Amino acid sequence: MNLSFERLFNKALGKIIEDYKEKGESLSEEILTQAIHNSLDDDLFNNIAENFYQILKDNMYEPLELERLIHTEFRSRIKQRWIRPLALFNSLIIITEEICTNDINKTNEIKILDENTSEHSLKYYTFMKLLAKQILLAKEIHYLLEGGFADAALSRWRTAHETKIILFIFLKYYDNDKIMNELLTRFNDASIVEEYKECRWHNNSNDNYFKDLKKNYKNLLKKYGDSFKFDYEWARPIFDSLSRRIYFKDLEIHVRNHEETLSFYQKANYQIHSSPLGTFDSLGTIDIEGLESPPYIFGPSNLGLRIPGQLEIFTLYETIVTYLNATPSIDNLIYIKTLGKFMNEAFEEFERVEEEIINDELSFSEENNV
């Protein structure tokens, strides 16, 4: 689908100039400018664009189906190559989800409101919300890896990493009811602050819901102070000696996060914020001497799945294991041991498949250079 209207126009313009030359007539700049102005009015462009739009719209289902078939075929090839590590990853997700659903069914963290109504405690509700989000993120990342979108998977992993750190903050004070309740209350109140920040740009000052939201927002600033409008101020009770704003890095340090994940977290930031490195660098390319990847990637790739796959597997494992260790039991110990076996084998399989792909590409390149 190559537009050629400008080429046709230039050709027609050249013809006009040639005709004038053949007739021996002078073509002044004023006459030429007027001719161009008379030809290129808005109605002409609008009519061409409308016709072009209608043609494309009338045929839009055919390229959609073609794209679906191409992507389905590509996903099938990825599954064939990466099936074992992806299957192990999926098993880890299923086991984690079953642990959480079983825990919900048997929990004692229930508050009776009346004879017909009950709800989970704020502590349990927040924990399970974070765990459910972690499982959902793992499923999203798994789906992206199946489709060959490694950079997108790494971007979603960043959210999973942040979710893990927040849960770790709460779990660190699991047995300290005073700090725990204060953190949980502030964390939930912070969601009101974030909702207000989101809605204030909608110019809905006459909406009753927004009026109540704004009132609640102002009440929270009175309760906690103006600084509560900043991110991570909900964690202030454990950063009382910190005179500046709280940043996510502070939360990571507080729970002694693994340093090896820091570089990958930064790499994920580059992808999310479309930085210079995020623009030029991609997990879906090979950066090895003797191999050349296409300079521009417009779709999925079967390369680069190892890094986001291993990162998410480790993050999901750490999240659920830390949660289970908060309430030790024989069942939880067996779960932890089982999950560890899946994680270790999945790590090995992601390594193996990536190495196979690179070796195959090197062999192919050598054969074609003989």
Q: What pLDDT digit, counting tens, does each position of 308-343 carry?
A: 999 999 999 999 999 999 989 999 999 999 999 999
pLDDT at residue number 97 = 95
CA dist 169 and 275 (Å) reads 30
pLDDT at residue number 112 = 47
Token pair of 303, please?
């390369």
Q: Where are any strands of DSSP class E within the chain?
A: 110-114, 117-120
pLDDT at residue number 370 = 52
DSSP 234: G
Token pair of 240, please?
């009382």
Query: Residue 284 corresponds to which amino acid?
Result: G
CB 183 within 8 A of CB 173: yes
pLDDT at residue number 190 = 95
**Exposure string for 278-293, b = 16+ CB within 10 A, e = fewer:** beeebbbbbeeeeeee
- pTM of the entire structure? 0.82
Dihedral of the CA atoms 173, 174, 177, 181 (nearest 10)? 80
CA dist 204 and 195 (Å) reads 13
pLDDT at residue number 261 = 81
pLDDT at residue number 110 = 59
The Cα-based distances of 158 to 32, 155, 163 in angstroms read: 58, 5, 9
CA dist 329 and 214 (Å) reads 45
Query: Residue 113 corresponds to which amino acid?
Result: L
- Helices 260-272 and 150-172 meet at what angle, rounded to 10? 130
Q: Which residues of the chain have pLDDT under 70?
A: 1-6, 8-9, 11-13, 15-16, 20, 27, 31-32, 34-45, 107-120, 203-206, 257-259, 288-293, 364-370
